[in-house]
Amino acid sequence: MQDLDENTVTDATLAQMGTTPDPRLKQIMEAAVRHMHAFAREVDLTPSEWLTAIGFLTEVGKACTDIRQEFILLSDVLGLSAVVNALHDKKAAELGTQSSLLGPFFREGAAELPLGASIIANPSVPEIVLYGQVTDNDGRPLPNALVQVWQTDEHGLYDVQAHDDAHMDMRGNFRTDASGHYHFRTVRPLGYSIPMDGPVGRLVAQQGRHGMRPSHIHILITAEGHRELVTALYFGDDDHIASDTVFGVSNSLVVQSKADPESPIPGLRAVRYDFKMPRAADNDTGRVGADPASFKPAAE
């Protein structure tokens, strides 16, 4: 027996967890316990505050569905997703196009569309063109790369917010041509608020934050032998370009649409963006985000 106080309980916990056979689980849980105990001591956490936090996390869990991942949203607004992304980028064999958040609105199984198609079923504003080339880090074209795109519409809504659950819109998958080029039509998405009707939105409001993301188009590119690229392009003239609620913007990902005589669809404003895919590395740890539907209870 030992008399434990708020300090010695940390070592007692670590000692008991010392039997963990999986070394990585052991390392992660030890650090988590040390930091969580230190956090409680630093703020002198009271029982009622801790119960409030547990109630909050319970609500976050209950808000998760096949089309909504409130825990990812929580990680996003706390800047943790951005930290994990930056660590992931640092482990790449070479640095290609910078990554950005996958966010909670990615869905597997969008339609594969021919190059030049529009990803918007009923555009109410003039379309724009997004085009460019997918290459390796040395500029060699990558034919047949899968380019998955998804975005909000001109009103700032994703399909799952604008339509019923099953209806896919404002998203599509394309294959680069023999010279690695891609192009498709879309509308300029409107910047939007993260979902504010759940516990995470309530927290953001309590913190006096605006909850807005600047206008952006999500891109996920896969090419054989290369590291999967999860990124997004951000429109530089958006009012919230410098204060993204989820810290996804990097300067190299900021774009502007313009009249462009070299665009494959002349007459429409265009954004040209070339993507560089780094080589796959042994230490690749997978995608930094997921389709909400892929989170199933461990027992299933």
142 or 220, CB closer to ligand BEZ? 220
SS3 31: helix
158 or 278, CB closer to Fe ion? 158
Q: Which residues bind Fe ion (CB under 5 A)?
A: 103
SS3 157: coil
Residue 253: name its binding partner from Fe ion, ligand BEZ, none (Cβ under 5 to 8 Å by kind): none
Residue type, 118: S
Residue 170 contacts by C-beta under 8 Å, 6 or more apart in sequence? Answer: 119, 120, 150, 151, 152, 153, 158, 159, 162, 186, 189
Q: How far is the CB of 173 from Fe ion (least distance, A)?
A: 17
Residue 249: name its binding partner from Fe ion, ligand BEZ, none (Cβ under 5 to 8 Å by kind): none
20 or 98, CB closer to Fe ion? 98
Q: How far is the CB of 259 from Fe ion (least distance, A)?
A: 26
Q: How far is the CB of 151 from ligand BEZ (least distance, A)?
A: 9
Residue type, 90: K
Distance CA 72, CA 65 (A): 12
Q: Which residues bind ligand BEZ (CB under 6 A)?
A: 73, 76, 101, 103-105, 194, 213, 246
Residue number closest to ligand BEZ, CB atom = 103
120 or 142, CB closer to ligand BEZ? 120
183 or 213, CB closer to ligand BEZ? 213
Beta strands in the chain (DSSP E): 128-136, 146-151, 171-175, 181-186, 192-193, 212-213, 216-222, 229-235, 254-255, 269-272, 275-277
Closest CA to 273 of 71, 95, 83, 133: 133
Q: How far is the CB of 247 from Fe ion (least distance, A)?
A: 13
